[in-house]
């Protein structure tokens, strides 16, 4: 029987997509230095990360961000007018603390350190982008990234992200991002690379995935 291909066309994510998005992102970030630091137990890592990404989606980004997904990938964006609202509330912090267990304090310190390096200019923030490794190389992440960049360009605004994996830097640089700083996470954590992309005029040909 021929397997049906999974489309890489971005679609808006709804609350019904929370569980599959969480699983896809957990697999996507399985080798990510920061997420492995937050979830050091290999036996429970994938399940914990699935809960983590689902919780962020349901309680934070689905309410105040722009979330899109494909069959194997997802992206969480925050437009400039929603960035104050997208800060986790007390209940979200409680749920994340339960998921992270004894790593919760490190998570809070890392979030504060990253926030302290964020740009002051109005911008679109790419909070999360990941594709299931089984589908990587098929354009899922690139399609989601192009979709969000088009929205930022239409607003005439820059885009900002933090990458926690050095090998991902060339991917983002291919789409016009530049490293503008490095953040050493407290408590012996890994490095985050702050990246910024200037807006492009309407009609500029978008980058294509490698």
Summarize the confidence of residues 61-82 as an average pLDDT: 94
**Is residue 190 a contact partner of residue 33, using CB atoms and an 8 Å limit?**
yes
Backbone phi, then psi, for 178, in 5-degree steps? -130, 145
Quote the percentage of the chain above a pLDDT of 70.
Answer: 92
Cβ-proximal residues to 8 (8 Å cutoff; 6+ apart), any chain: 70, 71, 72, 73, 135, 138, 139, 140, 143
Quote the percentage of the chain above a pLDDT of 90.
Answer: 74
**Is residue 179 a contact partner of residue 193, using CB atoms and an 8 Å limit?**
yes
pLDDT tens track for 100-153: 999 999 998 888 888 777 788 999 999 999 999 998 889 999 999 999 999 999
pTM of the model: 0.91
Mean confidence (pLDDT) of the chain: 90
Q: Under CATH, domain 11-197 is a member of which superfamily? A: Gcn5-related N-acetyltransferase (GNAT) (3.40.630.30)
Distance (Å, whole) CA 30 – CA 53: 12
């Amino acid at each position: 029987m021929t397997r049906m291909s999974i489309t890489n066309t971005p679609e808006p994510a709804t609350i019904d997509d929370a569980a599959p998005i969480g699983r896809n992102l957990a697999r996507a970030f399985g080798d990510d230095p920061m997420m492995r630091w937050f979830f050091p137990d290999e036996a429970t890592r994938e399940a914990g990360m699935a809960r983590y990404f689902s919780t962020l989606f349901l309680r934070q980004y689905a309410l105040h961000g722009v979330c899109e997904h494909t069959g194997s990938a997802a992206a969480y964006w925050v437009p400039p007018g929603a960035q104050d609202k997208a800060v986790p509330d007390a209940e979200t912090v409680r749920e994340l603390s339960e998921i992270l267990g004894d790593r919760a304090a490190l998570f809070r310190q890392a979030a504060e350190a990253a926030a302290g390096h964020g740009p002051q200019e109005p911008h679109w923030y790419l909070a999360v982008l990941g594709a299931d490794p089984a589908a990587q190389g098929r354009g899922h992440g690139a399609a989601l990234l192009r979709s969000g960049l088009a929205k930022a360009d239409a607003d005439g605004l820059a885009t900002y992200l933090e990458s926690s994996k050095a090998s991902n830097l060339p991917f983002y640089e291919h789409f016009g991002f530049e490293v503008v700083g490095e953040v050493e996470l407290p408590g012996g954590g890994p490095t985050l690379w702050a990246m910024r992309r200037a807006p492009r005029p309407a009609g500029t040909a978008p980058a294509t995935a490698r």
